[in-house]
Amino acid sequence: MMKTVYTLLFCFTFLFSGAQKQINKEDIMNEENVKKVTNIYNEVKRYKYNPSYTLHIEKAANFTFEVLVNDYPMFIEYNPHVMSGSKPINHAILKPGKQKLTIRMTPPVDKEYNMGHEIDMENITLKLSINYGEYVLQKVSEFKEALRYELPQQKGKLPYYEVNLEFDAIAPYQEDIEGWQNGVDLTKEDKDKLLKEVEEFYKNIIQDYENQDVNALASKYYKRQFEMEQTHYITKIYESEMVVDAWVKNVNDDRPFIFNGYMLRFYGNGKMVALVKTDKYYINLTALMREDPETGKASAYPIYLYRPKPGAPLEVIR
């Protein structure tokens, strides 16, 4: 059984259908929180140097894996195929200096998504790089490398293998974003109470989608969206409006949410928390997910929550 998941954060490729009443962007553009989001481009600062960092997985074969930058997940890959791809990572870089890159490797899965017990270390391949430069002012061919890594030849079989790397980065926006770094260490809180609070947060967001309440979504997602746009130097109005276009399409999607089969996971060195799926098809993907019961095609809306200070409610930070 093949599953297709569309992950929706701040880039927008979707599949939609539905018989419910459709709302239009024009209907909600004057709502308070929507207007705040579409005006973010006016608040974004530019600096003397505006580097964009991109993580390139050049080849990953014969294992499943997660790749995290500063304990924030950039790639979650539990698929039975050779993988390659690139993602911008500025939003995971909160301050300049040494950054951490972690690759958590697990056994491969078969075509039915059943995971094996071991990684055949002699047959795996991992090649990756991180480059950076300033778009528009530089050609991509002129970008510099912050990191290049190829896993050396290995031997034996292991149930798990982890690679920990470091790279240097510049973050000119460090004074203009908050990130999760000063949040509460959630691993020290009562886990049962925290789980209930996180579940309630997810249920409220699901209700916002089902009620087609874009203004409520804009309120919950504002801080994340501002920091996304600031760290990626978004200064064009159409780019700020793209996220509203996405929310309108998302709330017009009538596929049911499959909010079940999940567990609590911590990220950001304990400062962020999320609910992730535990079934073999969607393992470690967000529990905030819709799925077409007939085709199996799904859309995932990943969110990562943090608590700004002790006693404060949880907020979406990524």
Nearest-angstrom CA–CA distance, 235 and 207: 31
pLDDT of residue 20: 74
Paired sense of beta strands 298-300 and 5-7, if any: parallel
pLDDT tier, 153 (very low <50, low <70, confident <90, very high otherwise): very high
A 10 A CB-CB count for 184 gives: 18
Among residues 169, 196, 229, the one where a domain terminates is 169
Same domain? For 183 and 234 the reply is yes
pLDDT (tens digit, 9 = 90+) per residue, 48-82?
999 999 999 999 999 999 999 999 999 999 999 99
Can you tell me the distance from the alpha carbon of 314 to that of 318, in angstroms, rounded to the nearest whole number? 12
Confidence of residue 212 (pLDDT cuts 50, 70, 90): very high
DSSP assignment string, 57-70: EEEEESSEEEEEET
Residue 17 has pLDDT above 90, yes or no: no
- Where do the H-state alpha helices sit in the chain? 25-28, 32-38, 40-43, 191-210, 214-231, 237-251
Cα angle, residue 57 at apex, residues 53 and 61 outer, rounded to 5°:
170
CA distances from 250 to 68, 213, 263, 303 (A): 27, 11, 24, 15
Shared domain for 129 and 149, answered yes or no, is: yes
Give CA–CA dist 20/256, Å, rounded.
12
- Does residue 214 belong to any structural domain of this protein? yes
User: Could you tell me if 158 and 172 are in contact, meaning their C-beta atoms sit under 8 angstroms apart?
Assistant: no
**Does 204 lie in the same domain as 162?**
no
For residue 211, report the phi and psi dihedrals to the nearest 5 degrees.
Answer: -85, 0
- Amino acid (1-letter code) at residue 248: V
Report residue 6's pLDDT band, with 50, 70 and 90 as the boundaries: low
Separation CA 266–CA 68 (nearest Å): 12
Find the domain containing 23 and state its range. 5-45+179-316
3-state class (DSSP) for residue 166: strand
Reported pTM: 0.93
Evaluate if residue 211 carries a pLDDT over 60.
Answer: yes
Q: Are both 113 and 84 inside the same structural domain?
A: yes
123 within 8 A of 62, measured Cβ to Cβ: yes
Percent of the chain scoring above 70 in pLDDT:
94
Within this chain, do residues 157 and 73 fall inside the same structural domain, yes or no? yes
Please name which of 278, 289, 263, 261 lies closest in space to residue 194, comparing C-alpha atoms.
263
What band does 15 get if pLDDT is binned at 50, 70 and 90? Answer: very low
Q: Stretch 84-88: mean pLDDT, rounded?
A: 97
Instruction: Verify that 260 and 215 share a domain, yes or no.
Output: yes
Terminal CA-CA length for the chain = 31
Instruction: Report yes or no: 238 and 181 within 8 Å, Cβ to Cβ.
Output: no
Q: Into how many domains does the chain fold?
A: 2
- Per-residue pLDDT at 3: 57
Contacts of 85 (CB under 8 A, 6+ apart): 56, 57, 75
**88 plus 110 within the same structural domain:** yes
- Are the C-beta atoms of 158 and 119 separated by less than 8 Å? yes
Q: What type of residue sits at position 272?
A: M
> Does some domain include residue 192?
yes
Judgement on whether residues 274 and 162 belong to the same structural domain of the protein: no
* Residue 13 token pair: 């490729």
Check whether 32 has a pLDDT greater than 60. yes
DSSP designation for 122: G
